[in-house]
Structure 1
Amino acid sequence: MSRNPPASLPRVRTAAQDAMRGARWWTLLDLERNLRSDTEFWRDLWAPSLAIAAHKVGLKGARSRLDEAIEAGFHQIDLFEPELSAAFGTDPDWKQVLERARANVPEPALRITAWPEPGPAAPLRLDRPEPHREPQLLPRLPKPLPGAWDTAKRLLGWTAGLWRHANTRINAGDALDVLEQVANGARYSCVEYSIVLAQGLNVLRVPARRVWLRRGDYHDGVGQGHAVAEAWIDDLDQWVLLDGQHGAYWADEDGRPLSLPELQARERPARPVHVGPRALMKDPGLWAAYFQHASVTGIAWEPEGFVPVFQDGQVLATERLVRDSSEAYPRLSDLAIGVTGLGGSPAVELKPVHPYAIGGTWNGEVIAAHGRQRFAQALDREPGEHKAAIAALTPYGPLASRELRWTAA
């Protein structure tokens, strides 16, 4: 039967609602024939309401309308309490009536049972040039390779070979300014290497930020700091520390590239791996001493207490101060999901954490964008249990997948 009401039904519904509110029970009962044609609301609204009305005026068989509704699947007894219990609660089988109604509650058509959630972290701040400067910087950089790690290593080696280190600072400007000055013969410090490397990586859609490393007694003396960069590497599913001055990254005993928190936690110095043409780190232990204290673009961490002054009296400003480095390191392969509709059917919308995500994948297949409902996929409604491997997609390919589970009745 069609659930589209006839044109007169809205007026009947309004009259019935007014009669219910005004306790005009005979008026409501006079509308019963018309209300029975309201297939959308008869079972769940009008039948129990008419049962109450019939009891109020003393009609025999008043409960028959409620029994009819329960037989059809009505279960929302609580919406009509205490009136229903006041009317029929003394019936000998009332307890059984309530049990039949409760048994009518159907299983939900869909239930999402497991979904990914991003881990807690402070807001991510990357080191990027102004948007209008990115198109000018891009042609000056090496071409990206198919993989994020290969692209990062290529840019790392390229950056290290741009000039010979000198303790000179540009003091202002972005990577484009540094490159223009270097083309004119300028030489700069570790700070400028970190600027070029971090901003260049972001232009190539590898999330990166600058890192300031400090020795244990950095509040006094000289040579107490070193500037490097770090990048989220899609195909490694992790952050990696990159030294633009030396053209190097650090690796563990198995050759796996390391993040800054991993380097801070080590008891023995890690091995530097050089990809650039500049002089090798002759004393890894000396450079490892710089891992004792650190901050990155937008955030600093210090479990024992933060010293906000550097060796020359410079204030070490930071946008956010935390105690645990984990708050500074979101896993950029994480993604959240939202729930939306596609063509009238329930769907999930992938919401990647990665700042350069261009889409998502569903069991390895790319999800098409649907206007505002970007990266959305309808849920399979075939009865049973279902699961899908979902992932964010970047210019370098899909990231590590997460599992989504749901059941359909």
Structure 2
Amino acid sequence: MTQLPPAKLARVRTVAQDAMRGARWWTLLDLERTLRGDAEFWRDLWAPSLAIAAHKVGLKGARSKLDEAIDAGFHQTDLFEPELSAAFGADPDWSKVIERARANVPEPALRLTAWPEPAPAPPVRLDRAEPHREPQLLPRLPRAGAGAWETAKLLLGWTAGLWRHANARINAGDALDVLEQVANGARYSCVEYSIVLAQGLNALRVPARRVWLRRGDYHDGVGQGHAVAEAWIDDLDQWVLLDGQHGAYWADENGKPLSLPELQARERPARPVHVGPRAPMKDPGLWAAYFAHASVTGIAWEPKGFVPVFQDGQVLTTERLVRDSTEAYPRLSDLAIGITAMDGTPAVELKPVHPYAIGGAWNGEVITVHGRQRFARALDREPGEHRAALATLTPYGPLASRELRWTAA
């Protein structure tokens, strides 16, 4: 049967649907020849509908159109219940008819069986200079290294050598303000080192934020707090604590740089590693005592109870208070996926967690879309099982990969 022109097909479908809804069975039956020309809906809609209509008016062989549909692959019998069972349920072979229809359900052309999912966590808050100020800050910084860790160590050592520590505070301003005042001879505290380090790292596209460390009895006394920074290091696939005042980070017995939660969990003080011109810490154990309590930009955590007042009566504000530090430390190499269409075929769209993502990688091949943060790749439709290693791409290269699996029929 020749396919109907679109305009005529639309009119015939409307008449047929109205006839079905209004139980005008002869009207529907009179349209059979024309409806056979509707290749899209004949098997799954019109043939079973005509079988019901033929039974309603008492025509012999009414079930033949249903059998024809099942032979062609029809399987959605439930859409026509209870009318189908009322019409043909008494037939001796009805159970076999239903089995034949159910056996027609094809395997899906594509099925995703495993995909990456980021762990639940609040959005990460970074310490950045205002967008209009960052371009002015960037020329004052050392050039980025080949990798994120190399860049972080370069900036850590550079920050520590900018001025000799003093207890003065700038009280307002950003890294650019601090650098301008230091150029005029000003000296500042650990707070200003943390500002310059965190905002400088972000300007170089290394995600960083400030960290406030507090000793165990920080609600009374003096010298109970210390300000540092931390950064997500792409090539280490982890957060690392960085002390801009001392030009140091902390490492375990094997030399692995440590995050703040790792430092808090240790029974023995970790080893500080100095990368700047400053003299080594005189008493690493004393400084390790500051790991007892901590908060970062946007979030604080305390497993047993939070004391919201600092030594001088200052209120310790935080946007979000949690009990577990894991909520403050998303893995920025994580990514989610979405499903989109590319040239009419299903495709996977990468949705990076990393704030400085510039693209994605699919089995090592870079995928980007110019002008948009949309990194998509069509799924292979060759029959069989497929796997792909997905990764976020940053200015420092691809991050740790996550596996995607799917089957095609």
Q: Structure 2 counterpart of 1:178, which letter?
A: V
Superposition pairs of residues 164-183 of structure 1, within 5 angstroms? 164-183=164-183
> For the residues of structure 1 that align with 2:113 and 2:314, how far apart are their CA atoms?
52
Residue 7 of structure 2 aligns with which residue?
Answer: 7
Q: Secondary structure at the match of 1:188?
A: coil
Indicate conservation of the 8 Å contact 1:5/1:38, yes or no. Answer: no
Tell me if the contact between 1:340 and 1:373 (Cα under 8 Å) persists in the aligned partners: no
SS across alignment from 1:150? helix
Q: How does 1:308-319 map to 2 (within 5 A)?
A: 308-319=308-319
- Tell me the amino acid that sits aligned with residue 76 of structure 2: Q
CA deviations on 1:164-221 (whole Å, 9 max, x unpaired) are 0000000000000000000000000000000000000000000000000000000000
Alignment of 1:237 onto 2:266: no
Q: Work out whether 1:260 is the aligned partner of 2:257.
A: no
Partner amino acid, structure 2, of 1:383: P
Deviation sequence 1:80-136 (CA, Å, 0-9, x none)? 000000000000000000000000000000001100000111221000011000000
CA–CA separation in structure 1 for the residues paired with 2:168 and 2:279: 18
Partner of 1:228: 228
**How big is the shift at 1:373?**
7.4
Deviation, 1:282, is: 1.3
Letter in 2 for 1:117: E
Instruction: Determine if the alignment matches structure 1 residue 157 to structure 2 residue 126.
Output: no
Q: Is the 8 A contact 2:359 2:373 kept in 1?
A: no
**Paired amino acid for 2:286:** L
**TM-superposed deviation, 1:372:** 5.5
Task: Output the CA distance in 1 between the equivalents of 2:387 and 2:293.
Answer: 43
| CA pair 3-281 structure 1, distance change in 2 beyond 3 A | farther
Residue deviations 1:351-384, cap 9 Å, x none? 0000000000000000131665711000000000
- Please list, as runs of the form range in 1=range in 2, the aligned pairs for 1:6-405 lying within 5 A after superposition: 6-369=6-369, 374-405=374-405
Distance (Å, rounded) in 2 between the aligned partners of 1:146 and 1:358: 16
Structure 1 range deviating more: 254-263 or 119-128:
119-128
Cα deviation, 1:33-61, whole Å, max 9, x if unaligned, reads: 00001000000000000000000000000
TM-superposition CA deviations, 1:284-318 (whole Å, max 9, x none): 11011000000000000000000000000000000
Matched to 1:379, the amino acid is L
Structure 1 residues 370 and 245, CA, compared in 2 at 3 Å: closer, same or farther?
closer
RMSD: 1.1
Per the TM alignment, residue 8 of structure 1 is displaced from its structure 2 partner at its CA by 1.2
Q: How far apart, CA to CA, are the structure 2 residues paired with 1:255 and 1:346?
A: 45
| Aligned residues of 2:44 and 2:76 also touching (Cα < 8 A) | yes
Cα distance in 2 between the residues matched to 1:406 and 1:105:
20
Amino acid in the other structure paired with 2:26: W
Asked whether the equivalents of residues 354 and 392 of structure 1 are also in contact (C-alpha less than 8 Å), the reply is yes
Aligned equivalents of 1:75, 1:42: Cα separation in 2: 13
The one-character-per-residue Cα deviations of 1:307-333 (angstroms, maximum 9, x if unpaired) are 000000000000000000000000000
Deviation at 1:7, TM superposition (A): 3.3
Distance 2:290 2:129 in 1: 27
* Structure 1 runs, 4 residues or longer, greater than 6 Å off: 1-4
Structure 1 unaligned spans of 5+: none
AA aligned to 1:205 is R
Check the 8 A contact 1:349/1:373 in 2, yes or no: no
Relative distance call for 1:103 and 1:5 in structure 2 (3 A) is farther
Residues 388 and 30 from structure 1, CA distance in 2 versus in 1: closer, same or farther, beyond 3 angstroms? same
Q: Distance in 2 between matches of 1:336 and 1:290?
A: 36
Q: State how far apart, in whole Å, the 1-side matches of 2:55 and 2:25 are.
A: 9
TM-score of the superposition, structure 1-length normalised?
0.99
Alignment check: 8 A CA contact 1:298 1:318 kept: yes
What letter is aligned with 1:125? Answer: R
Residues 3 and 37 in structure 2, CA contact (< 8 A), matched pair in contact too:
no
The count of aligned residue pairs is 409
AA matched with 2:45: L
Alignment check: 8 A CA contact 2:2 2:37 kept: no
C-alpha contact (below 8 Å) 1:215/1:290 kept by paired residues: yes
Measure the CA separation in 1 of the matches of 2:26 and 2:372: 51
Per-residue displacement from partner, 1:67-87 (whole Å, max 9, x unpaired)? 000000000000000000000
Distance 1:323 1:52, change over 3 A: same
Q: Tell me the secondary structure at the aligned position of residue 255 of structure 2.
A: coil
Cα distance in structure 2, aligned partners of 1:258 and 1:14? 69
Using the alignment, how far apart are the partners of 1:376 and 1:120 within structure 2? Answer: 23
Corresponding residue SS for 1:196? helix
Q: How far has the Cα of 1:3 moved from its partner? A: 6.6
Distance in 1 (alpha carbons) for counterparts of 2:235 and 2:185: 36
- What CA distance in whole angstroms lies between the structure 2 residues aligned with 1:322 and 1:141? 35
Contact in 1 for aligned 2:233/2:240 (Cα 8 Å): yes
Aligned residue identity for 2:128 = R
